[in-house]
Chain A
Amino acid sequence: MTCQHRVVVTGIGIVSSYGNTVDEFWNGVRNGRTAIKSWQPHDVDDFPVKYAATIDKQAFGRKFAPWVESHKNIERRGLFGVVAAHLAFKDARLKPDASPGVSTCSGAPEISDTDLAAMVGDSETEVIQNLRRHRHQLTNHSGIRCGNDSMAAAIARHLHADGPVLNVNGACAGAAQAIGLAFQCIRRGEKELMVAGGADSVLNLRTMSKLFLLKAPSTATRYGAALCRPFDKGRSGLVAGEGGAILVLEAQDAAKRRGADIYGEILGYGSSLDAYKITAPHPEGAGAHTAMAAALRDAKLPAEKIDYINAHGTSTPLNDAIETRAIKAVFPHALKTGLKISSTKSMIGHWIAAAGAPEAVVTLLAIKNSEIPPTINLDTAAKDCDLNYVAHQSQSARVDYAMSNSFGFGGINASLIFGRYSE
């Protein structure tokens, strides 16, 4: 393959707990403001998971009322994705006939609690009868039909995409993989314009119960809203968040031709598999190491060039220690030079399948704004977490090259490398 186009990011769209503009989102993370608060499913008061970073349904519904009305056939997180894609397209100042490709991830099928309540019955026969009665609804709600592709298709329809349209499945690395695949697609010359990223929400009874039974989320209460504490010795599990983030990726030539503003450049992508256990990451971080090394190789950059790592940093006891170990293996100088690392999840929670997308946005904005957002709630670093995690407050620093890590459940890993754009 001789074609090697440079790939730049020309648009960002975001739907988050902070708001729905790039500025609102950036101000939230750079100021270390937590979006995590007390949470319970509607009409439930004793659910074991007590905190999450949520999007105000009513406010979102009011602001995007026409969207909610015209996209009744997709689940809520799908709507986050469509709105984010629309905002990204607008941010990039693209014309409606630009015909992009789409590469997104939206995770496990989402079934709303209302729909679930409508389906249930006290016997299998009654369940089936309820299902039959609601069969029109089953088609409209992809959570019930157990596909998870409605968001990718809805974005493609909305933006008049002409392909490729990819619905990526990669657990918590899914959105990072979706961005990586879109990047490769443009680099090889298959397409000039792609929208890529993810949207997800696990804040529903079905998914959250299953996550709880997998012992993934923290059920602690002693830290209150400061529960998400990546790399801290008091960390006790992930804290879920929700939202959508979509990036417009463009071949540099095409972006320059139309005079687009450029946030930054994507330089490398690496993915890997732990091949260890479905329920735990490789203890030495072998998969994380492979993904980071592959991304560096792909970007043709030595490790020393990386100024900042946006860590996966989930606040789970296993991930944060293992990610630290893997970073030290790939960046042996990290401890000595104080390589800056931070976890966006400490503020916005874990967007699960979509997590890599807002974190890619933060990484790009850190480069663009020469400011590294903090890891909040990091009061006492754990013994096995001994790097510079930019605790509590953001730091001004020129960032030319930065990496964003996403390491998913089941050992699916992805790393992306972004760079400051210069001709």
Chain B
Amino acid sequence: MPVAFLRQGCSLLPGIKKISEILHTAEAIPIKTKTLAPDDTLGLTNRCGLLPPDDLDSLKVGRIIRKTSEQQSRWLIKAGCETWQRLYGEQAGGTHTGLFAGLATIACDDDKHVYCFKNPKRKAIAATLLRKTRPLAGLALLNTTACSHLATQLQITGPNAAFSPHADAGAAALTEAYFNVLEGNCARALCGAGSQKITPLYFLAYESLLKKFAATPWFPTESAAFIGIDSVYGTADGIPPDGILIDTLRAFGSEKKHRLPAIDKLLARLRVNNRNLPEQVIHTGTVSYSDTLRVLTASHLPTANQFFIDTMTGYTGPASVLLAVNLTLEIFKQGIALDQHKTVKKIAQAPQTSALIIAQGLEGQVNYLLVGKAP
């Protein structure tokens, strides 16, 4: 029976060096209040978690990657390369390695000048766009440059897929990586996800949608996280895995009123599919109805501890699912359980054997991933 072994990878979050620090900081990660537009013309003085810009100096990446990667991609490249280095050293990926990624909104609004024109007539706009746009700016529109760069850097040439732009995209990447390893399409997979780059446009564009759906207060955070998934127990250096992926399911509930029933259905299927129910639940994808969600989850898993990762990290979009996996593997290592009421976190010594990650997209996508302790 094929098994998908999980290996903890790199988690990039503002002000945090390792995912374990989430467990032992008193409150949420350092979230800064930042005015995102000159003179606060947006009226959006928001709390947000910002990662420092990364020039990839710490990695031996080629000139083309440096020249053609935008900031949002660079966080993914950094987290992906550091994960690979930690797990597989200097090996090249090859055709037996897959690459699966959850990507955030497309970082194509970085250059505000693309919207700055003296003459708003289309002919003038066209002329300015053709003159002022950076020659390689189109690469950002693809949203897949990070995957191409990671593949080049690590020589990964196997099966691949990328999804966007919210928490469900991270879950989809992990699910596809899991199936590709189980079905023998690749022997191992590098799986990761990033977050949105926070800009005024991002805030403006999402404020209504997130006000409708997301928890209040809502604060976005820049992040990236990766893991390794293998079909074999030990790495070439004999390092054992940190966990296994036991089961995954995905569903859709188009309207808000259908989302909870969709989760209800997923949890019911979880109970049918799995004899050993999880003791830990980690929710990702900030929702405004977390209290109802907590009650619903408790009705299926009455003894499970529940933790809402976004209340600690901020909204990290697709990255949240990979952060949750890395956190779960850390919980297994430390033999602890993580519970939470509102934003207060409680840690108890409690050996865990499995944990359920529930990921929700903004449009009604719901997913679960059941992670087990390594045998």
| Interface residues, chain A, with chain B CB atoms under 8 Å away | 1, 41-48, 101-102, 108-109, 113, 116-117, 119-132, 135-136, 138-139, 144-149, 152-153, 156-157, 160-171, 177, 181, 184, 188, 205-207, 209-214, 216, 270-279, 286-287, 290, 294, 298, 408-412
Contacts and interface: CB of A to CB of B under 8 A. Distances in A.
Contact of B42 (A108, A132, A148, A411): A132
A412 B160 contact: yes
Nearest to B366: A163
B222 to A, nearest CB: 15
A199 B185 CA distance: 28
Nearest to B97: A273
Contacts of A102: 252
A159 to B, nearest CB: 10
B209 to A, nearest CB: 6
Contacts of B134: 213
A165 B365 contact: yes
B135 A162 contact: no
A304 B75 CA distance: 44
A171 B208 contact: no
A209 B129 contact: yes
B95 A272 contact: yes
A225 to B, nearest CB: 22
B256 to A, nearest CB: 12
Nearest to B159: A271
Nearest to A214: B138
A48 B47 CA distance: 43
A152 B361 CA distance: 12
Q: Which 4 A-B pairs have the closest CB atoms?
A: A145-B205, A210-B138, A410-B148, A163-B252
A168 B160 CA distance: 11
Contacts of A207: 138, 141
Q: How large is the interface on B (under 10, 10 to 19, 20 to 34, 35 or more residues)?
A: 35 or more
Contacts of A116: 115, 125
A171 B101 CA distance: 14
B143 interface: yes
B364 A146 contact: no
A164 B250 contact: yes
A140 B39 CA distance: 26
A43 B121 contact: yes
B interface, over-half SS: mixed
Contact of A135 (B39, B105, B130, B207): B207
Interface in B145-169: 145, 147-149, 151-152, 154-166, 168-169
Contacts of B310: none
Contact of A274 (B42, B65, B157, B262): B157
B139 A278 contact: yes
B143 A275 contact: no
B136 interface: yes
B93 interface: yes
B152 A278 contact: yes
Given A153-B363, A162-B251, A271-B159, A122 B117 contact: yes
B148 A213 contact: no
7 contacts: A122-B116, A163-B252, A165-B363, A169-B162, A188-B183, A271-B160, A273-B157
B375 interface: no
A144 B201 contact: yes
Given A109-B106, A165-B363, A410-B147, A273 B156 contact: yes
Contact of B204 (A42, A113, A135): A135
Interface string B101-140: 0010111110011111110111101110110011111110
A164 B105 CA distance: 20
Contacts of B130: 48, 209, 212-213
Contact of B139 (A147, A170, A214, A298): A214
Contacts of B262: 162-163
Contacts of B176: 181
A323 to B, nearest CB: 17
Given A120-B115, A273-B99, A412-B144, A146 B105 contact: yes
Contacts of B163: 166-169
Interface of B: 2, 37-39, 41-43, 64-65, 68, 93, 95, 99, 103, 105-109, 112-118, 120-123, 125-127, 129-130, 133-139, 141-145, 147-149, 151-152, 154-166, 168-169, 172, 175-176, 179, 182-183, 185, 200-202, 204-209, 250-255, 262, 361, 363-367
Contacts of A274: 148, 151-152, 157
B252 A213 contact: no
Contacts of A270: 159
Contacts of A44: 122-123, 126
Nearest to B116: A127
B157 A290 contact: yes
Given A168-B161, A275-B154, 12 more contacts: A102-B252, A121-B116, A128-B41, A156-B364, A163-B251, A165-B361, A169-B142, A170-B144, A210-B137, A272-B159, A275-B93, A276-B152
B116 A123 contact: yes
A160 B254 contact: yes
A121 B68 CA distance: 28
A268 to B, nearest CB: 11
A157 B117 CA distance: 38
Nearest to B164: A169
Given A48-B130, A136-B208, A161-B252, A128 B116 contact: no
Nearest to B266: A163
A121 B115 contact: yes
A131 B205 CA distance: 9
Contacts of B147: 273, 410, 412
B209 A139 contact: yes
Contact of B112 (A46, A47, A127, A216): A127
Contacts of B38: 124-125, 128
A189 to B, nearest CB: 11
B117 A171 contact: no
B106 A146 contact: yes
Nearest to B108: A146
Contacts of B162: 168-170
